[in-house]
């Protein structure tokens, strides 16, 4: 049975992917909280994994042991709104660290521990919000940390794909769409759910699983 690692699986898209993959895979699902979630059939929860912490990859490698990971999905995220008039240094650092710095170190440690082999896949859940081309003047500025950290993640994905090509490890970057999640509600984006075509997480989950 294939082994799937989902980083950021306590809620939102990550939780949905864990549930759907568990039907015919062994799933390792991480949570930032130090509270241990109750594992269910084919899902083993790993608590206290904060992507923004340097040792997250080492903790994962130690927990998983000698099992080969067939697919790794990094979907952990952090989003706080900000404007030009009131930027937040601390929040921007956390958004960059979570979205684009942490994934590099997680993948590094998993590869060096021999947990990713030829044929393994890495999926980085990004967003079209990181696209410079798609950003329209009518949308205005602001939210620097969110948009720029996703742009950085897109470049991270490209660079990882080049570094891991000779090892036979594929790297993909995906935009799952605008979703009705606690994160988008938490920043007030629930007011755009209807007009923006926000979907329940089960929809992108069903679309994503067959591809990776």
Domains plus CATH for the chain? 3-208 (3.40.50.720)
The pTM for the full model equals 0.84
d(CA 56, CA 174): 22
Evaluate whether 45 touches 111 at the Cβ level (below 8 Å).
no
At residue 191, the pLDDT reads: 39
At residue 198, the pLDDT reads: 47
Task: Check residues 109 and 181 and name the one with the higher pLDDT.
Answer: 109
List, for residues 6-48, the tens digit of each pLDDT value. Answer: 999 988 788 889 988 998 899 999 998 776 666 678 999 999 9
At residue 194, the pLDDT reads: 41
Whether the predicted pLDDT of 192 surpasses 80: no
Rounded mean pLDDT of 165-194?
66
- DSSP state, residue 155: H
């Amino acid at each position: 049975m294939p082994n799937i690692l989902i980083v950021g699986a306590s809620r939102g898209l990550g939780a949905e992917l864990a549930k759907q993959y568990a039907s015919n895979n062994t799933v390792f699902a991480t949570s930032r909280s130090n509270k241990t979630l109750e594992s269910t059939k084919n899902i083993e929860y790993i608590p206290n994994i904060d992507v923004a912490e340097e040792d997250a990859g080492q903790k994962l490698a130690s927990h998983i042991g000698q099992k080969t990971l067939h697919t790794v999905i990094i979907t952990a995220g952090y989003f706080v709104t900000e404007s030009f008039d009131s930027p937040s240094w601390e929040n921007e650092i956390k958004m960059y660290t979570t979205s684009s710095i942490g994934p590099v170190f997680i993948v590094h440690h998993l590869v060096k521990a021999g947990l990713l082999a030829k044929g393994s896949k890495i999926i980085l859940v990004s967003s079209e919000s990181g696209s410079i081309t798609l950003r329209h003047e009518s949308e205005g500025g602001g939210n620097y940390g969110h948009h720029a950290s996703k742009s950085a993640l897109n470049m991270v994905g490209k660079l990882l794909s080049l570094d891991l090509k000779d090892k036979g490890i594929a790297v993909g970057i995906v935009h799952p769409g605008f979703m009705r999640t606690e994160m988008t509600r938490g920043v007030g984006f629930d007011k755009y759910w209807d007009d923006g075509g926000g979907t329940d997480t089960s929809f992108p989950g069903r679309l994503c699983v067959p591809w990776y």
